[in-house]
Amino acid sequence: MNKPRIQDDLYTYVNQEKLDELVIPDDKPCAGGFQTLAEDVEKIMINEFEEMSLNNSYPNDYLKRACDLFVLAKDADKKAEYGVKPALNNLEIINGLNNLDDFNKEYKSLMLKGISLPLKIMVDTDMKNTKQHAVYIQGPGVILPDASYYKPEMAAQKEMIMGIWINVAKAILANSGLSAEDQEKYLADTLEFDNMLGNLVKTSEEWSEYISMYNPTSINDVSNLVTTLDFKAILNDLFGFVPEVIIVSEPRYLENFTKVFNADTFELYKHWAFVNGFINACSLLTEELRDLGSLYYRSIAGIPANTPIHKFAYQLASSMYSEPVGLYYGEKYFGSEAKKDITEIVYQIIDTYKTRIQNNDILEESTKEKAIQKLSRIGVKMGYPDKVLPIYDKLVYSDGSLYDVVGELEQIKILNNLSKLKEPTNPGKWAMPGHMVNACYDPFVNDITFPAAILQAPFYSINQTRSENLGGIGAVIGHEISHAFDSNGAKCDEFGNINNWWKEEDTKRFESKIEAMVEQFDGIELPWGKVNGRFIVSENMADNGGMAVTLEIMGKTENSSYEEYFTNWAKVWCLKAKPEYLQLLLNLDVHGPSVLRANMPPRNFDEWYKTFDVKETDQMYIAPEKRVVIW
């Protein structure tokens, strides 16, 4: 293939050689960028786990428990010995439920056993008073990757994916000990129950609007909606008292709850819960079942091979003990010199945002002041936390099958979550562990988290030039901070509380920017599907903000090179992926496709046109009146 000109396609110009040479691992849907870094971190940590286990020498108790779990999870023989028995024993509780009364009495036991429930109850930060916790309720997940697949216009895709699921489910249920007749009945009932859910629970697009999750409702109003539940008694079982206010995350589902869950549908529910429970158990049972259990997702994401057993074991152990593993990784592989250098970039970005906000044309003067206050209060978490959360002292387990051990640990996590209701929130809590290749802004804390694992090349290196680092990690830091002012963040104040601090005029001007940004992306045809501009608009606005703020810093940086800046920007988005996976992301991921994340933002900025002499006839040109700069 001929290499395109940079003015027509920055992404391919920069990444073509890399894309040609990248090989997508058999057990993954993609390679490159974030994925390559994640693979590298995983390799390092698997070696660490192997060595610690072999020498029976661990830096602390947490890592010992993580390594023991790792060893247990990769013991195929032991798993074969236990077979499906542990899962069937656990699911036995479902057979004992004869009616709604039984269900209400057993709700807590069902929850602790990890059985799928028609209404999920959990404790999380109260979005309007983020110092305290609140009880949230929501509906269950669906069989298809997202509720949007249940819309009439997705009928063809739904049928195709559901067909795959049914085939896989049949093969799995053949191992469940049910008679052939029951297998068929359970499957049909599961599909019927799922179909009711699919039309009522939220789509990813709906979930992406965080604020709409916050619907505080009096306990009496909720009880009157979920009349098939003995809701107050259930809450009393869970918390030892009945909270007065419940946050309803999915109003549509709740209003229709009794149509889904009632005496007539109870049998459907039971079969759905059993089938879900058995399928979810597969990864923890025999190797054959782990393979079958992964087949559905692998088929729809285009992944030929299952995760090898040692990788699976590491992924399980490192997610169960994520903070201690992240802390170990950070301490060993992330230097304090790098931390100092990046923290300097972060504060430079925050300060630059302050002046940009001061000079921007969206916000009124009084709103600008509050925006600057919000910036001054942003918490910065770089690398890894000093110590792990107290929950990790509780995460101990007894001898037994892998299924039972994981069940025991999950139960501790559930009880820990319930116990939080009367405790204050912990703003020192990290949203991501040190070994994760990712970054985030938390609107309800007003802080950014950059784990150690993302703070490496191509995002950041102490050996890269400042221009390269600004085009890499700098733009990503700017991206995360701008989430403080996106359509979700703008509705939360400097303490992370939902609190509309914008004037009507601010919102109006901001919304016209949103529309312009939706328009830039909406309907773009890629070989694997069409882009939904509204679904990904918050992330696109964040990319735009990240670029605006770092380009301004570039202008003030001595010996800066815009060529290096844009080249590294394109490099971090390099991704080679299976078309099935890319198609899935179009419906599930609030971030746009990598190629667009690399190629769309630059064309809004003068620096792009000047650096590469981009002209009207070039592909990466847009007319000045269509360019959008938000922050």
Taking the complex as a whole, the smallest distance from the CB of residue 483 to Zn ion amounts, in Å, to: 6
Taking the complex as a whole, the smallest distance from the CB of residue 591 to Zn ion amounts, in Å, to: 7
- Contacts (CB under 5 A) with Zn ion, residues 539-558: 539, 542
Residue with tokens 């305290």: 132
Q: Output the six-digit token pair for 67.
A: 């390594």
Q: Give 62-67's long-range contacts (Cβ < 8 A, gap of 24+).
A: 62/321, 62/324, 62/388, 62/392, 62/395, 63/321, 63/324, 63/325, 63/328, 65/321, 65/395, 65/396, 65/397, 66/317, 66/318, 66/320, 66/321, 66/324, 66/325, 67/317
Whether residue 458 is preceded by a cis peptide bond, meaning omega within 30 degrees of 0, is: yes
| Upper half-sphere CA count for residue 284 (Cβ side, 13 Å) | 22
Cα separations (Å) of 338 from 9, 437, 547?
Answer: 32, 16, 22
Residue 124 or residue 589: which is nearer to Zn ion going by CB? 589
Residue 169 or residue 572: which is nearer to Zn ion going by CB? 572
| CA dist., res. 341 & res. 382, Å (int) | 11
Taking the complex as a whole, the smallest distance from the CB of residue 402 to Zn ion amounts, in Å, to: 35
Sorted by sequence, the CB contacts under 8 Å of residue 329 that are 6+ apart come out as 41, 44, 45, 384, 434, 435, 452, 453
CA 394 from centroid of its chain's CA atoms = 25
| CA dist., res. 322 & res. 601, Å (int) | 34
| CA dist., res. 351 & res. 354, Å (int) | 5
Residue 437 or residue 542: which is nearer to Zn ion going by CB? 542
Taking the complex as a whole, the smallest distance from the CB of residue 442 to Zn ion amounts, in Å, to: 11
- Contacts (CB under 5 A) with Zn ion, residues 482-541: 539
Taking the complex as a whole, the smallest distance from the CB of residue 539 to Zn ion amounts, in Å, to: 5
8 Å CB contact between 628 and 544: yes
Active site residue ranges: 480, 543
Positions of E strands within 295-420: 379-383
For residues 228 to 267, the per-residue mask of contacts with Zn ion, x marking binding by CB under 5 A and - elsewhere, is ----------------------------------------
Q: Output the six-digit token pair for 384.
A: 């890894």
| CA dist., res. 545 & res. 232, Å (int) | 46
Taking the complex as a whole, the smallest distance from the CB of residue 488 to Zn ion amounts, in Å, to: 10
Residue nearest to Zn ion (CB): 542
Size of the site for Zn ion (CB under 5 A): 2
For residues 423 to 452, the per-residue mask of contacts with Zn ion, x marking binding by CB under 5 A and - elsewhere, is ------------------------------
Residue 541 or residue 595: which is nearer to Zn ion going by CB? 541
Residue with tokens 């003030």: 556
Taking the complex as a whole, the smallest distance from the CB of residue 479 to Zn ion amounts, in Å, to: 6
Residue 140 or residue 546: which is nearer to Zn ion going by CB? 546
Residue 542 or residue 596: which is nearer to Zn ion going by CB? 542
Residue 225 or residue 542: which is nearer to Zn ion going by CB? 542
Pairing status of strand 216-218 against strand 245-248 = antiparallel
Please report, as ranges, the residues that interact with Zn ion according to CB under 5 A.
539, 542
